[in-house]
Structure 1
Amino acid sequence: MADFDLGEIERRMRGALTSVKQDFAGLRTGRASAGMLDPIQVNAYGANMPINQVASVNVPEPRMISLQVWDKGLVSAVEKAIRESDLGLNPVVEGQVMRLPIPELNEERRQDLAKVAHKYAEQARIAVRNVRRDGMEGLKKMEKDGEMSKDEHHDFATEVQDLTDTVIKEIDEALAAKEAEIMQV
């Protein structure tokens, strides 16, 4: 049997799926999620740090995020970073505790977020197709160089295509779930 690494192709395709799921987690819906704050960087101790490295992030209610800032001196820096982010959140500061009420989304904003989700999903599909193309080119080269027979090439090509179809279906399912979550009033 030829030495073709189907596991590497699957790993790369799954990486695209993982990446799109992380992108979806950052999209704001009407619900609170600790992942919403992941992109925010706080200027702390002379460096930019992720918010979860200077505060505990909790979601006590579906429309509220609560932060417990560990260092009293960083409360204003965290508040500033949240206000300057594109999330549209207004923190309510009570000592070292910060509450972030999540406002309702209007219909227009929901549709914009759905478009962004579709864009993320299409980028992931393109990444998966590029991995498939690389795999198919590798198979053709191995067959041309005499490292595998036509039958082996056909079998591996079928497996690569099946894997591609499976991962793209999972991306579409993740998109449908995120879109339903965004559009839920």
Structure 2
Amino acid sequence: MIDDVKKEADERMSKSLDALSHNFNKIRTGRAHPSLLDGLRVEYYGAETPLNQMANVNVEDARTLSLTAWDKTMIPAIEKAIMKSDLGLNPATAGEVIRIPMPMLTEETRKGYIRQARHEAESARVSVRNARRDANAMLKELEKDKEISEDDERRGHDGIQKVTDSYIAQVEKMLAAKEADLMEI
């Protein structure tokens, strides 16, 4: 019983870390990275389609992404979607290839991205704590229904707290790495 509750809490906390990693990938650093365009959607024959299903995204050099659209008629729509996004990127088309140069980050934009990263990390911490709260509530319910003893409940709480502490430490580690990446010139 207790192991099931602990396992479920662990799975939820793991999903929180995965979501944090995905959100960190959306925060742009000075380097070009294909995951930067992951959330971008393009109008394709009346349907919003993810960009990575319409084009091949490659890193040309440290500061440039290149896109090769599979349907050449969609190049203007892809350019338009990139410009409309809140990423601050200006694509340049050269025939069938769209090049996206990454502008240098100013000190002010770096600090703004760090604030965004801290906000994402705090959301992940809250999600981890919510998983802990729910697991502890399940343990209390089991103890109340006399399915486990009071001592087992306490041991369960301690185990869940250890798991929570390890996930919070991982969130802090990921945040520190992202901040260091953002402040790198």
TM range (shorter): over 0.9
The secondary structure found in structure 2 opposite 1:152 is helix
Where does residue 155 of structure 2 map in the other structure? 155
What is the CA distance between 1:159 and its match in structure 2?
A: 0.9
C-alpha change, 1:3 and 1:10, in structure 2 (3 Å) is closer
- What is the CA–CA distance in structure 2 between the aligned matches of 1:146 and 1:22, rounded to whole Å? 41
Contact 2:5 2:138 in 1 (8 A): no
Give the number of equivalent residue pairs.
185
Question: What does 1:12-31 correspond to in 2, within 5 Å?
Answer: 12-31=12-31
| Structure 2 counterpart of 1:119, one-letter code | H
Question: Are 1:135 and 2:135 counterparts?
Answer: yes
Contact 2:2 2:156 in 1 (8 A): no
What is the CA distance between 1:60 and its match in structure 2?
A: 2.2
- What is the CA–CA distance in structure 2 between the aligned matches of 1:7 and 1:128, rounded to whole Å? 13
- What is the CA–CA distance in structure 2 between the aligned matches of 1:34 and 1:125, rounded to whole Å? 27
What is the CA distance between 1:38 and its match in structure 2?
A: 1.1
| Structure 2 counterpart of 1:99, one-letter code | R
The secondary structure found in structure 2 opposite 1:67 is strand
For the aligned residue pairs, the C-alpha RMSD in angstroms reads 1.1
Where does residue 103 of structure 1 map in the other structure? 103
What is the CA distance between 1:4 and its match in structure 2?
A: 3.9
C-alpha change, 1:3 and 1:181, in structure 2 (3 Å) is closer
Where does residue 179 of structure 2 map in the other structure? 179
| Structure 2 counterpart of 1:65, one-letter code | L
The secondary structure found in structure 2 opposite 1:5 is helix
What is the CA distance between 1:3 and its match in structure 2?
A: 6.8
What is the CA distance between 1:5 and its match in structure 2?
A: 2.7
C-alpha change, 1:114 and 1:86, in structure 2 (3 Å) is same
Contact 1:42 1:51 in 2 (8 A): yes
| Structure 1 counterpart of 2:117, one-letter code | A
Question: Are 1:46 and 2:46 counterparts?
Answer: yes
Question: What does 1:28-107 correspond to in 2, within 5 Å?
Answer: 28-107=28-107
Q: Structure 1 unaligned runs (5+)? A: none
Contact 2:5 2:139 in 1 (8 A): no
- Residue identity over aligned pairs, in percent, reads 44
Deviations 1:125-178 (A, max 9, x none): 001101100111111111111100122112211110000000010011000000
| Structure 1 counterpart of 2:73, one-letter code | G
| Structure 1 counterpart of 2:38, one-letter code | D
Contact 1:60 1:66 in 2 (8 A): yes
- What is the CA–CA distance in structure 2 between the aligned matches of 1:118 and 1:166, rounded to whole Å? 18
